[in-house]
Amino acid sequence: MHKTRQTLAHVYMVLFLIFMLAPLIVMSGAAFNDSKLPSIVPWRGWTTMWFSEMIADERMMWAFANTLWVAVAVALISVVIGTASAIVINSIAGRARTVLYGLMISTILIPGVVIGISTMILWTKMGNAVGTEFFLFNPGLHLSVLGQVSYIAAMVMLLVLARLQSFDAGLEEAALDLGASHAQVMRRILLPHLYPAIGAGAAVAFFQSIENFNVTQFTRGGADTLTVYVFSKVRAGITPTINALAFLLICVTLVLAVIYEINRRRRARIEAAREAEARRAEEAML
């Protein structure tokens, strides 16, 4: 019975990996197929011309640059707001905690189309009320950033809040009793404990922003992002240049994931060594 369960578990794992990786493999393979259609069937020969055409496509390159700019801005702002919200929610109790938590979570449940339209209408109406042509009130990538932050920050908050559950509040009290200021406690005790969650939240915010379409479509003004560019190409016909760019993004993501895992293991070894040294020092004192 145990062997049967183990075999089924292995089969499930293999099928799951195939389900997850097969579309990426097919999409990446289309970037090297000498065919005008983004597919691997029929295979017409090996080529790298789609990468050259990708670089020559100025609109795609501008859209990609805009996408990266928006994603970085969204990640930075979402980390600040999400981390601050998690710390506040974790430090209060009662009805105020429930209300604040509910307000933050509610943004995740709102459809992206609603967020995009609401963001555009809000800032446009504010511009009309102020009676100025200041760029902040006009549709553009800055409104895309604000619209995306309104719900992505809640995702960061959930990650940081989960990490805070394992934090020993006694460390803060001990540091304050020893004369540390609240700023020092935040910088030297709390934030180092939250760094893994903050890093994960930044990564989630970055990639959520890259693949966002609904909010960006209604707030971007005349600027292009990658998802909007791909959507506009659907009517005219998508070429494998999109697959070439996707292949490069997959490679970059894998490299970053490997680097993150190496650093995580290195930090884990250092932390384990410090804990072992602390235990030895404690035993020597006893």
Specify the CATH number for the domain of residue 193.
Answer: 1.10.3720.10
Average pLDDT over every residue of 122-133: 74
Cα(30)–Cα(250) distance, integer angstroms: 14
Number of domains present in the structure of the chain: 1
Examine residue 223 and state whether it is found in any structural domain, yes or no.
Answer: yes
Angle (CA) 257-25-259 rounded to 5° is 10
Q: What is the mean predicted confidence (pLDDT) over 13-38? A: 87
CA dist 174 and 196 (Å) reads 23
Residue type, 58: E
Helices (H), 92-140: 95-109, 112-130
Does residue 180 form part of some domain?
yes
- Selection from 241, 239, 216 nearest residue 227 by Cα: 216
Residue 233 vs residue 68, higher pLDDT:
68
Confidence at residue 129, expressed as pLDDT on a 0 to 100 scale: 73
Please check whether residue 10 lies inside any domain of the structure.
no
Q: Predicted confidence band at 134 (pLDDT cuts at 50, 70, 90)?
A: low
Residue 248 has pLDDT above 60, yes or no: yes
Residues 6+ apart with CB under 8 A from 73: 145
| Res. 137: pLDDT tops 80 | no
Is residue 153 in a domain? yes
pLDDT, average across residues 185-204 = 86
Mapped onto helix, strand or coil, the DSSP state of residue 33 is strand
Q: What is the mean pLDDT of residues 7-27?
A: 88
| Candidate ranges 9-13, 40-44, 91-95; pick with highest mean pLDDT | 9-13
Does residue 192 lie within any of the structural domains? yes
pLDDT at 1 over 90: no
Position 7 in a domain: no
Query: Could you tell me if residue 13 is inside a domain?
Result: no
Most confident of 130-144, 151-165, 185-199: 151-165
What domain range is 190 assigned to? 60-241
Please write the tens of the pLDDT for every residue from 92-116. 888 888 888 888 888 888 888 899 8
